[in-house]
Amino acid sequence: MSENFFESTLKKETGENDNILRPKTFEEFPGQDQVKERLSIFVEAAKMRDEALGHFILSGPPGLGKTTLAYIVANERGKGIKTSSGPVLEKPGDLAGLLTSLSDGDILFIDEIHRLPIAIEEYLYSAMEDFFIDIMIDQGVGARSVRLNIPKFTLVGATTRLGLCSAPLRSRCQHVHRLEYYSDEELGRIVKRSSDLINCEMDEKASHEVAGRSRGTPRIANNLLHWVRDYAQVKADGFVTWDLANKALNMLNIDSNGLDEMDKKILNTIAYNFDCGPVGIKNIAVSVGEEVGTLEDVYEPFLIQEGYLVRTQTGRVISQKTKNMLGINSNSSDEQDLPNL
């Protein structure tokens, strides 16, 4: 089954364009004002004491800037950063190689840290608290443990599912910072900044149109911007007007509310097949032909935050906002009253 635009965007790995658009300082990073203020104080205090930063976790939906903030913290602190991912670290030796390559004050950034194998996570505890690791040499009766001191480093973990991070790991972190979806105004500033960096001329109304269809997510906004630029270069003279942006985004089947085909399929499925809910997430996943994890991580956060979907103890239900959009009579569940989105 082919991925739609939003899913493929959120699964996309960091590439050259992301590095060009990635802010280098807190001042260049739009939005997330409270998180930025806390982190800037955190960094400044560490610089004044000339100490390594304490460990911390960045949580929130994909594409909101967790990796970017980790790089900004390293840049503002004037230290190096090494990156890895929870699923990639399969054995203690993998982690040991990373830790021993760090210098004093460097940052070790682990994306999707909630997916660390338990053996790796437990191996990490002594490194986080006491800055040493034990390495086993040889096997069998001749096996022995050698303790290696490692530099005082800062662990920065990023996760889309904070609840799956173990309590021992969270307790060893000084802070947990939650990133929220961006407002259209903040995304408009991001689109304007990115368009300048990639030499894409566009009017203000066009940038607002791109921002309004980006689901509150900078990564999606930047990818939509690249598509709109391509469309304008092929279909016009390269200058992006509101009309061109609207046509380009409509070609991706993204409506003015930022809802894509899968969003509409989810809402229509609950309305048509399950009488507006409540219905379990597994039933929805089977009905729309998508994985449960993808629904929970990619689609549900936006639909819930924007008020289209509600989680209850008995399952998911569509909200009154969705019923109004669908033209559903609240007093009737007859399918004749349920037009498709």
Number of Cβ atoms within 10 Å of the Cβ of 66: 25
Q: Are residues 73 and 144 in the same domain?
A: yes
3-state helix, strand, coil in the chain (%, to 5): 50, 15, 35
**Residues placed in the known binding site for ATP:** 21-22, 63, 66-68, 129-131, 172, 182, 219
CA dihedral 35, 258, 222, 159 (to 10 degrees): 40
- Is 219 catalytic? The answer is yes
The pairing of strands 309-312 and 81-85 is unpaired
Q: Are residues 164 and 106 in the same domain?
A: yes
Residue located via tokens 């921002």: 211
CATH number at residue 300: 1.10.10.10
Q: Are residues 174 and 61 in the same domain?
A: yes
Q: Which of 313, 306, 326 is nearest to 280 (CA)?
A: 313
Instruction: Please give the backbone phi and psi of residue 104, each rounded to the nearest 5 degrees, phi first.
Output: -55, 130
d(CA 132, CA 125): 9
Q: Are residues 42 and 143 in the same domain?
A: yes
**Confidence (pLDDT) at 306:** 87
**Confidence (pLDDT) at 338:** 46
- Decide: helix, strand or coil at residue 5: helix
Domain termination residue (choose one: 156, 178, 200)? 178
Q: Are residues 47 and 143 in the same domain?
A: yes
Question: pTM to 2 decimals?
Answer: 0.83
CATH number at residue 111: 3.40.50.300
**Residues placed in the known binding site:** 21-22, 63, 66-68, 129-131, 172, 182, 219, 311, 316
Q: Are residues 171 and 208 in the same domain?
A: no
| 15 assigned to some structural domain | no
The residue annotated as part of the active site, out of 106, 111, 260, 263, is 111
Q: Are residues 95 and 168 in the same domain?
A: yes
**Confidence (pLDDT) at 13:** 40
pLDDT digits (tens, 9 = 90+) for 175-228: 999 999 999 999 999 999 999 999 889 999 999 999 999 988 999 999 999 999
Handedness of CA 303, 1, 59, 120 (dihedral sign): positive
The residue annotated as part of the active site, out of 9, 154, 159, 160, is 160
Domain termination residue (choose one: 226, 251, 276)? 251
**265-268 own/partner pairs: CB under 8 Å, 24+ apart:** 266/295, 266/299, 266/303, 266/309, 267/303, 267/308, 267/309, 267/318, 267/322, 267/326, 267/341, 268/326, 268/338, 268/340, 268/341
Q: Are residues 39 and 168 in the same domain?
A: yes
Which residues of the chain are modeled with pLDDT < 70?
A: 1-18, 136-143, 330-341
Q: Are residues 195 and 88 in the same domain?
A: no
The tokens for 208 are: 């607002």
Q: Are residues 67 and 100 in the same domain?
A: yes
226 touches 198 (CB < 8 A): yes
Residue by residue, DSSP assigns 286-306 as HHHT--HHHIIIIIHHHHHHT
Beta bridge partners of 109: 83, 156
**Confidence (pLDDT) at 7:** 46
- Decide: helix, strand or coil at residue 260: coil
CATH number at residue 221: 1.10.8.60
**Residues placed in the known binding site for Mg(2+):** 67
**Confidence (pLDDT) at 141:** 67
Alpha helix (H) residue ranges in 148-291: 167-171, 184-197, 204-212, 218-235, 242-251, 261-273, 281-288
316 touches 277 (CB < 8 A): yes
- Is 160 catalytic? The answer is yes
**Confidence (pLDDT) at 226:** 93
Preceding amide of 339 cis, omega within 30: no
- Is 196 catalytic? The answer is no
d(CA 161, CA 277): 25
Number of Cβ atoms within 10 Å of the Cβ of 227: 18
pLDDT digits (tens, 9 = 90+) for 101-140: 999 999 999 999 999 998 888 889 989 999 988 876 666 6
Q: What is the CA radius of gyration of the chain?
A: 23
Q: Are residues 45 and 107 in the same domain?
A: yes
Query: Domain range spanning residue 155?
Result: 32-178
| 24 assigned to some structural domain | no
| 20 assigned to some structural domain | no
The residue annotated as part of the active site, out of 115, 219, 264, 323, is 219
Domain termination residue (choose one: 132, 153, 178)? 178
Q: What is the total count of domains within the chain?
A: 3
Query: 329's torsion region: left (phi>0), alpha (psi -120 to 50) or beta?
Result: beta
Number of Cβ atoms within 10 Å of the Cβ of 193: 16
Q: Are residues 217 and 287 in the same domain?
A: no
